[in-house]
Structure 1
Amino acid sequence: MKIYVKVYRVQGEVLLAACDEELMGKTFREGELKLEVKERFYKGELRDVEDLEKLLEEATIANLVGERCVGKAIELGYIDKDRVLYIQGVPHAQMAKMLW
């Protein structure tokens, strides 16, 4: 299985949107929480999860959805596993690098 990645470059920021391939276009709800994995935001290139390492290194902001994407970011030290939000069992994490 692959992941979708899309990179946005805006005002000096590099935003990475990434999600597990099978989650594209789906909506998840739990209580007051709603997570929409919208094609217009996430659907870029279909890549191997291993490609996240280089992409996260460059990103200043990341929005990640799915076991593979979030798991890889945890493995690489970009996401704290205790800060992951689960909606209907689907992991969602965000990252912002503080640049001094």
Structure 2
Amino acid sequence: MPGKMYVKIYRVQGEVLLAACDEELLGKTFREGELKLEVKERFYKGELMDVEELGRLLEEATIANLTGERVVSKAIELGYINKNRVLRIQGIPHAQMAKMFF
């Protein structure tokens, strides 16, 4: 499922936070019951790139915040996200990842 995603990388105190969302979701808000998912431009809007590049970015990331069908599906395909741990709000998939180091 090729397509574009917005990616922004934050580096804070040794952590590498990757925020990625499907291109068309940027700036939208989704609600379902008590849940609210805001795909904020200031958080997600960085570089526009192909979803195929997600693997390289997830390899470096220690934390990831992923939103959208293409982005989350790719992360599942690559083994970074368990498909049973994906939250859906108004049908939009959202997943978070944190790598643990011991």
TM-score for both structures, normalised by structure 1: 0.99
**AA aligned opposite 1:41:** F
Question: Which residue among 33, 40, 47 is the counterpart of 1:31?
Answer: 33
Work out the CA distance in 1 between the residues paired with 2:68 and 2:20.
9
Work out the CA distance in 2 between the residues paired with 1:89 and 1:11.
34
2:16 maps to what in 1? 14
2:85 maps to what in 1? 83
Tell me the CA shift for residue 7 of structure 1: 0.3
Find out whether 1:40 has 2:42 as its counterpart. yes
Tell me the CA shift for residue 14 of structure 1: 0.1
2:7 maps to what in 1? 5
Task: Please give the root-mean-square deviation of Cα atoms over the aligned residues, in Å.
Answer: 0.4
**AA aligned opposite 1:78:** Y
Structure 1 runs (4+) deviating above 4 angstroms are none
Work out the CA distance in 2 between the residues paired with 1:67 and 1:88.
12
TM-score for both structures, normalised by structure 2: 0.97
Aligned-partner SS, 1:77: coil
Tell me the CA shift for residue 58 of structure 1: 0.2
Tell me the CA shift for residue 77 of structure 1: 0.2
For each residue in 1:41-92, what CA deviation from the matched residue of structure 2 results, as whole angstroms up to 9, or x when unmatched?
0000000001100000000000000000000000000000000000000000
Work out the CA distance in 2 between the residues paired with 1:53 and 1:47.
12
Q: Percent identity?
A: 83
Work out the CA distance in 2 between the residues paired with 1:68 and 1:59.
18
- Specify every segment of 5 or more residues in structure 1 that has no aligned partner in the other structure, as ranges: none
